[in-house]
Amino acid sequence: MKGLERRVAVVTGAASGVGEGIATVLAREGASVAIADIDAAAAERLAAKLGGEGLDAAAFEVDLVERGSVDAMATAVKQRWGTIDILSANAGVYPNAALDEIDDAFVDRVMDLNLKGVLHSIQSCLPAMREQGYGRVVLTSSITGTHVGAERYSVYGASKAALLGLMRGLALEVVRDGITINSILPGNVRTPIVEALDREYMEWTLRAIPMGRLAEPEEVGWAVRFLASEEASYITGQTLVLDGGQLLPEGAA
Active site amino acids:
156
DSSP letter at 216 equals P
Note the Cα 39 to chain centre separation in Å: 16
36 touches 60 (CB < 8 A): yes
The helix (run of H) or strand (run of E) holding residue 78 is: helix 67-81
- Using CA atoms, how far apart are residues 90 and 247, in angstroms rounded to an integer? 22
Residue 171 corresponds to which amino acid?
Answer: A
163 touches 183 (CB < 8 A): yes
What three-state secondary structure class fits 219? helix
- For residue 44, give every residue at least 6 positions away whose Cβ sits within 8 Å of its Cβ, in sequence order, or none: 59
- Using CA atoms, how far apart are residues 177 and 129, in angstroms rounded to an integer? 8
